[in-house]
Amino acid sequence: MMRATFILGYLLLALVRISWADGGAIQFQGDAGTFHVTVFTQPPILHAGLIDVTLLLQERSDLNPLLDAKVRFDLAAQDGAARQPAPWMPPACAMNKTADLSDIPAKLGHGENRLLYGSVLQIPNSGHWQLRARIQRGTESAEIETLLNVAPAPLPLLAYWHLFLLVPAGILGFVLHQMARGRRTHPVAAR
Amino acid sequence: MLVLVLVFGALTNAAGMIAPIATLVSQAQTAFDLPRPAVVALFLLIGMVLIPGLLVLGTGAASRQSGKISVPLTQLISDFAMTLVPLGFGVWIAHLVFHLFTGSHTPIPVIQRVAYSLNLPFFGKPDWSIRSWAFPQLLDFEIIILEVALLGSLYATWKVARRYGTATGRSWLVFAPWSLLDLLFFVVAIWILFQPMDMRGTMMS
């Protein structure tokens, strides 16, 4: 019973990060032209590296979601953020990085939530970054701007420590199993 | 012997593609004034034969002595070499998964390049900066693959150690040196995963 609880607890903690739930922090919410715009970022506390930016576009009058617009993001460094050294990135991302942080298309259905326009942006450095979203829907267009406060990238091992729990958990589970089996095999010796 | 070459070959092959090792190979080439194929051959020899040989011999001797085992060292090493197979397989899989995703769209510019060379310009000029299926969580999956591989190797090591140590009651002492080798292998593999790739001969380097 204890082992099952332990395994269940570990799985719940391990799956939080890859669960398909909506998350993130609201970085901007307001009206722009005929639109009502909400910008989310994931993770909620931004660090240099990859961030997921999503935008919910709604009709200003009735707050109906609008799914036929074109949305583009521009990211510009403020306060000399661009002059800092580039942080460590996962190798796959380092090979596939966003070279230009302007005019990045935000695709509809980018995440699990089909109502959001979004894109993964790679923030090269910590500091203040201005995020601009340009929205075009038919003849209507609008722009919103918000300032992102980006913390320095965490050290690689600190960013991935939770993934390394599988080995100690596996070893502990095996040891507990062996001990339980030993008690079953030699009940007298165990007492 | 072949098993050990394939297992440690996984590590050497992956290590040869990361920036720190590529820099080291270049420095060795300059320092010893050797042609590149010779330096690469030397690196492979050291990584796949010399270092693994010393490690396995040392581990085998330590395990044999601490477990007070009377079987020949070569037989002991042969038995425990098989326990490294899950780790070697894990490194190969993690490495190839990386290439599968980061190079997913590479056939497109290659076909464009071939067509361009054959004066068939309807495919357009090759776009070597084409995107790929690589995604930020790819590293997470690679780490999990290696962890499962480590657990598999540790389990296999324990089973073999039990076989040798049951008679003397020293299973743990037989197991300990080999489990340390498993852990060392895992740590090196993780270190490699965290390094930037150095894709020689491609437009990305």
Min Cα separation B143/chain A (Å): 7
Return the residue in B17, B96, B151 with the most chain A beta carbons within 10 A, the one to mutate for interface testing. B151
pLDDT of the residue at A61: 92
pLDDT lower than 50: segments of chain B = 201-205
Q: Tell me which chain B residues have a C-beta less than 8 angstroms from the C-beta of A95.
A: 102, 132, 134, 197, 199, 204
**Interface contact B147, partner A, CB < 8 A:** yes
Encode A30-56: b = buried (16+ Cβ within 10 Å), e = exposed. eebeebbbbbbbbeeebbbbbbbbbbb
3-state helix, strand, coil in chain B (%, to 5): 75, 0, 25
Residue A191 predicted with pLDDT over 60: no
- Whether A92 and B98 lie within 8 Å, measured CB to CB: yes
- Exposed / middle / buried, residue B108 (Cβ in 10 Å: 0-12, 13-18, 19+): middle
CB contacts, 8 Å: B186 with chain A: 167
Per-residue tokens: B34: 């050797």
The band of A48, judged by pLDDT with boundaries at 50, 70 and 90, is: confident
pLDDT in tens, A68-83: 999 999 999 887 665 6
Record: contact B98-A50, CB cut-off 8 A: no
- The CATH number that domain A23-154 falls under is 2.60.40.1930
| CB within 8 Å: B136 and A93 | yes
Q: How far apart are CA A74 and CA A76, in angstroms?
A: 7
Mean pLDDT of A91-97: 61
Tell me what the pLDDT averaged over chain A comes to.
83
Q: DSSP 3-state assignment of A124?
A: coil
> For residue B50, which amino acid is it?
L
A92 or A98: which carries more pLDDT confidence? Answer: A92
pLDDT at residue A21 tops 60:
no
- CA-based end-to-end distance of chain A: 21
pLDDT higher than 70, residue A124: yes
Greater model confidence, B200 or A11: A11
Global model pTM greater than 0.90: no
The residue assigned the tokens 């092959």 is: B13
Half-sphere exposure of A71 (CA within 13 A, CB side): 29
Contacts of B155 in chain A (CB under 8 A): 174
Q: Are A92 and B134 in contact (CB under 8 A)?
A: yes
Find the chain A residues whose C-beta atoms sit closer than 8 A to any C-beta of B.
17-18, 50, 88, 90-96, 99, 120, 156, 160, 163-164, 166-167, 170-171, 174
For chains A and B, what is the number of CB pairs under 8 angstroms?
63
For the stretch A140-185, pLDDT in tens is 999 999 999 998 887 777 788 889 999 999 999 999 998 898 887 7
**Residue B49 and residue B31: Cα distance in Å, rounded?**
23
Predicted local distance difference test score (pLDDT) of residue A80? 63
Work out the pLDDT band at A96, boundaries 50, 70, 90: low
Give the chain A residue whose CA is nearest to the CA of B179. A171
Q: What pLDDT does B159 receive?
A: 94
Q: Which residues of B are less than 8 Å from A93 in CB distance?
A: 134, 136
